[in-house]
Structure 1
């Protein structure tokens, strides 16, 4: 069931985008909540576990994850944290965006089979991101078939990463280092969401309240 939850999150985002979504402050608040919850779970649980491993160079891999995410965002245009720019006339399949998002989704799936709270954080993060990605795709001239294939494969990549880590020996020798890289990815994505989800970077009491709510939820769990 846990493997299905990320796919369900993407499908929920797809459904909201297709049937009811209108771009408004609501999506920014949902992004802010997902970013604060993801950041809090990463800092409170995921990060201490990695540093307790006793590997002295682990911080290098965390920094490597940040750099990797920067490169992925260069390819995707920042879709991982709610930014996406596609030409409305586009009819060809956006392979660069697709590959970038799939790499991101696969990597974030690697540690979630070991941490339910991290799984919840990834699911909450996926819903608004799926809404935004689907909404942009629907505003292009891409066929509905291409859009559905894009979203389905994107949704499958996270549980695929979790499945490979949990049920094969392919990543056993590098699992710790991949987890550290994923921490860097989460730190970059979540902080970028928090910094960029306010218009003109002005203080917003609603956004601040949502961020505090995400932190409190992580503390309670």
Structure 2
């Protein structure tokens, strides 16, 4: 337990970096690509994605951006599980056709996976339940990419689907940035990793 504060600080820095990186990739690469499609109602689908993500967080309690509250409960957290899996599935839709976004989602998933793993291991769930949770959750984003590549309906409405994902990513990434600091204050180290995330995203 003596190492817990250092681990927490490191994870929070990584979370800040991932939020800045994902937001920057979305704005620099993905958002212009979505608007370049010149499809009608792009803005509506972006807002729809943002609203759906807000609804999902009623079930996940903000786990997508690092908020997981430890509870001594032996029941499997189905609402958290379904919400996180649906979120991960949505994120996977455009990554097969956008390499930069793939990097952004991968970087975003690393601290989230760490936080969720710690939450599960501190719960009263069995190791098998924890493993199944993490394995299925890990499969959702690749499954989303597969679905987008092989389901004709998703391909037909690709611009609308991508705009929807933009809304989801904008909400998650901005929430990470605003909530990753205590009392919403940025210290020098967090400001540094945020700037690093933005710069790396710009040059990839």
TM-score (norm 1): 0.88
Task: Tell me the equivalent position of 2:82.
Answer: 99
2: CA distance between counterparts of 1:168 and 1:21?
Answer: 44
Deviation at 1:21, TM superposition (A): 6.8
2: CA distance between counterparts of 1:216 and 1:166?
Answer: 30
Q: 71, 83, 99: which one pairs with 1:87?
A: 71
The answer on whether the counterparts of 1:75 and 1:97 sit within 8 Å (CA) in structure 2 is yes
Task: Tell me the equivalent position of 2:107.
Answer: 124
Q: 159, 171, 174: which one pairs with 1:191?
A: 174
What is the DSSP-based 3-state SS (H/G/I as helix, E as strand, rest coil) of the residue aligned with 2:123? coil
TM-score (norm 2): 0.95
1:70 aligns with 2:16: no
Q: 102, 124, 127: which one pairs with 1:144?
A: 127
1: CA distance between counterparts of 2:179 and 2:188?
Answer: 15
- Greater share of residues in helix: 2
1:73-128 CA distances to partner (integer Å, 9 max, x unpaired)?
Answer: 1110000000012412x112111111000100000000000011110110111010
Consecutive aligned runs of 4 or more in structure 1 exceeding 6 Å deviation: none
2: CA distance between counterparts of 1:203 and 1:167?
Answer: 43
The answer on whether the counterparts of 1:164 and 1:170 sit within 8 Å (CA) in structure 2 is no
2: CA distance between counterparts of 1:74 and 1:116?
Answer: 31
What is the 5 A alignment of 1:26-65?
A: 26-65=10-49
Gaps of 5+ in 2: none
Aligned length: 201
The answer on whether the counterparts of 1:42 and 1:187 sit within 8 Å (CA) in structure 2 is yes
The answer on whether the counterparts of 1:82 and 1:129 sit within 8 Å (CA) in structure 2 is yes
Deviation at 1:172, TM superposition (A): 1.9
1:157-205 CA distances to partner (integer Å, 9 max, x unpaired)?
Answer: 0000101111332412222211111100100000000001111112311
